[in-house]
Structure 1
Amino acid sequence: MCSLEKQNPPNPPLKRGPSWSNLWFKNKKTLNQVVFAMHLQSLTNNPPKNNHTPEPDKTLIFDTSKVADRTSLLSDELLLRILSKLPDSQRNSNSLVSKRWLNLQGRLVRSLKLLDWDFLISGRLFLRFPNLTHVDLVHGCVNSPRNSGILLTHKSVTFHIDSNTWSGGFIPERYISSVEKIDLGLKALANGCPNLRKLMVINASEVGLLSVAEECPTLQELELHRCSDQVLRGIAACQNLQILKLIGNVDGFYCSLVSDIGLTILAQGCQRLVKLELSGCEGGYDGIKAIGQCCQMLEELTLCDHRMEGGWLSALQYCENLKTLRFQSCKTIDCDPEPDEHLGSCPTLQRLQFERCQLRDKRSVKALFLACQGVRETVFQNCWGLNDDMFSIASICRRVKFLSLESCTSLTTQGLESVILSWNELQSLKVVSCNHIKDSEVTPALSSLFSELKELKWRPDTKFRLLSSLAGTGMGKRGSKFFKKS
């Protein structure tokens, strides 16, 4: 005998209401009313130029069904507001809709990297992009072979070169456009972009920069490649300049001279500088002193591959508002520093940073730490020669709150501990890829310090962590029989 259980009937399917998109496009009358209202709003904001006023007693009849492109009913201002809300990834596709959208999308572009110099000289650049504020002319100034498979790169400079014309260790002069041609382009840029705020250019002259300074009073950021002392006479006219990057000598690319003369001219003209970067420059004490005395708003100074004369460190005491001092790819700090009593110090300095520098001269490193003994943040990244002896000099800086060590392979756990235990104000520590700093060598005193820190990032020995994670898998030992010592 089998029993039948009463089964509940299945739930009836839920009826899904009509979507907004279906209602919107199904009701053409409602859509026409919306477009008609937007068109009336456009006419109200942009009345016709003629003096004929429509009679009030007549009714305006408008049939949107006869309009192929309904966006043509919108004013340029309204359509620009809509396009500005779309992500930048849709910029290229939006430009393909129509010629009008192409022109409107060009009005939204603010930053541009020029590759074709004729596009600038002909004036088509300003017709296509009338509201540019950031322009990079570096690649457009170089006539390198685009179809070459040899690409030469040095930090922010990248060129295609031809192996048949490569000689002397530098790019051929014929690759770089002439000074007259670049000045002509700068004059056209100054006339077409009066609201220019950032400019990057190579091999410019004093005349070309003067035209930019006169026509673009809002220029705030400037990057000059292949700069020299004479070119800096034109920069002095940029009175509102706040960020400046000078690239004088770049190994393998070009060679130019920036000395104390140019730095003094710069200091007297650009007194509103906030950030200054000197790359491949050959100044010294007089140039840095002039910058410190005249540019009293300077907060950040970066020295990249500098060729400064000996004794320039003692001029840092004149930079009274300097907050950040950065060294990048420097082979030495100061080849002949002044005695300790003549160094002085930077009272407002907060951050000292080293990137890819050689710290092998104990005398110059000590002079630098004496001049920056009030620093609060210290960063070492990929520095050569930073062993326990060199790092022990950093104990002079008693007020350090943040320390970052990355890829400093010569520093050991004992060397790190001897310094940071003397820093009573240390709050944050970052140690990454320092293979001679071992987890197993951490002492109880160092462990106690770690527990008191507000922030700790501890990944010193990446090789040790990898081997410990592979323990028991047999990996790392299979090839040992093929690499035995004979």
Structure 2
Amino acid sequence: MLQELELHCCGDMSLMGISGCRNLQVLKLIGCVDGFYNSVVSDIGLTILAQGCRRLVKLELCGCEGSYDGIKAIGQCCQMLEELTIRDHRMDGGWLAALSFCENLKTLRLQSCKSIDSSPGLLEHLGSCPTLEELHLQQCQLRDKQAVKALFLTCKTVREIVLQNCWGLEDEAFASATVCRRTRLLSLEGCSLLTTGGLESVILNWKELERLTVISCNNVKDSEITPDLATLFSVLKELKWRPDSKSLLSAGLAGTGVGNKGGRFFKGLKV
């Protein structure tokens, strides 16, 4: 009857022991942690897990070394899976394409990943996650433009995008997010390379955007807000704007009606 399990320092064969937990719904699997322990969880272990624990709803993989085949097995066997967290992965190139087999996935989280996918392959072969609603990236390296583009294509149906303290996210890479046209919420924190123009070029294409948060993104400037961007701000349901410590906009928003549907933009803004 076990439903929730956290397993540390495990290898492929040790997963045979939990494959009999037929009612397991929440699993955190930690294979390798730098400086503490180093166990290999490969496609073999992920396949064993997938075939035994078919009722998984939430799965977190930390320090695992699988690839396309392992993620595909999870997607095909664990059809109830709604939330997948991948932390500090050591996945082989091409694993991203297997996410399309997770047909009921609603939330994807990537945390502390040194790369997204070293070799995502041809973009037209990627597929997508049809039910995905939330994409969260935290402390990930986003310097590989091709990998970032592949990620956004795979997650193009997403409604919420949260990027927190991710390194290397500059305008060209972020432009790939234009494909996520159903986005209603965007939260950016600590994205220091992204500029006002790069932000604007994406969010003006999102006709369903309702909530925007921009915090500690030092290359996003009040002085560079265009009339089109100001108009967008005025109709958002929620706006949190603190791109740097010098921002005057966040102070000027108080009591102006901005953040309420149809609210007016504050008079002191120069565009």
CA distance in 2, matches of 1:319, 1:370: 15
CA distance in 2, matches of 1:329, 1:275: 19
Q: 3-state DSSP class of the match of 1:462?
A: coil
Task: Provide the residue aligned with 1:287 in structure 2.
Answer: 70
How many residues end up aligned between the 2 structures? 249
Give the C-alpha shift of residue 341 in structure 1: 2.0
Q: 3-state DSSP class of the match of 2:37?
A: coil
CA distance in 2, matches of 1:268, 1:238: 11
* 8 Å Cα contact 1:241-1:273 kept in structure 2: yes
Asked whether 1:304 is paired with 2:87, we answer: yes
Asked whether 1:441 is paired with 2:212, we answer: no
CA distance in 1, matches of 2:121, 2:107: 22
Give the C-alpha shift of residue 316 in structure 1: 0.8
Task: Provide the residue aligned with 2:165 in structure 1.
Answer: 382
CA distance in 1, matches of 2:157, 2:92: 25
CA distance in 1, matches of 2:194, 2:124: 29
Give the C-alpha shift of residue 464 in structure 1: 4.9
Q: 3-state DSSP class of the match of 1:231?
A: helix
Q: Residues 283-307 of structure 1: CA distance to partner in whole angstroms, max 9, x if unpaired?
A: 0111111110110000000110000
Task: Provide the residue aligned with 1:273 in structure 2.
Answer: 56
Paired letter, 2:235: E
Where relative contact order (Cα < 8 A, 6+ residues apart) is larger, the structure is 2
CA distance in 1, matches of 2:177, 2:151: 10
Give the C-alpha shift of residue 453 in structure 1: 0.6
Asked whether 1:247 is paired with 2:30, we answer: yes
Paired letter, 2:22: Q
* 8 Å Cα contact 1:435-1:463 kept in structure 2: no
Q: Which has the higher strand share?
A: 2
Taking the TM superposition and a 5 Å limit, the aligned residue runs for 1:223-242 are 223-242=6-25
Q: 3-state DSSP class of the match of 2:59?
A: strand
Q: Residues 391-413 of structure 1: CA distance to partner in whole angstroms, max 9, x if unpaired?
A: 11111111111000011111111
CA distance in 1, matches of 2:222, 2:204: 17
Q: Normalising to structure 1: TM-score of the pair?
A: 0.50
Q: 3-state DSSP class of the match of 2:163?
A: strand
2:131 to 331, 334, 348: 348
Task: Provide the residue aligned with 2:268 in structure 1.
Answer: none
Give the C-alpha shift of residue 438 in structure 1: 1.1
1:338 to 121, 131, 134: 121
Task: Provide the residue aligned with 1:360 in structure 2.
Answer: 143
Taking the TM superposition and a 5 Å limit, the aligned residue runs for 1:162-177 are none
Task: Provide the residue aligned with 1:414 in structure 2.
Answer: 197
Q: Normalising to structure 2: TM-score of the pair?
A: 0.90
**Structure 1 runs of 4+ off > 6 angstroms?**
none
Q: Residues 452-484 of structure 1: CA distance to partner in whole angstroms, max 9, x if unpaired?
A: 11111111112456xx9xxxxxxxxxxxxxxxx
Asked whether 1:326 is paired with 2:131, we answer: no
Paired letter, 1:329: S
Task: Provide the residue aligned with 1:427 in structure 2.
Answer: 210
Percent of pairs with identical residues: 71
Which structure has the greater CA radius of gyration? 1
Question: Is the deviation greater in 363-372 or in 262-271?
Answer: 363-372
Give the C-alpha shift of residue 318 in structure 1: 0.7
CA distance in 2, matches of 1:388, 1:397: 16
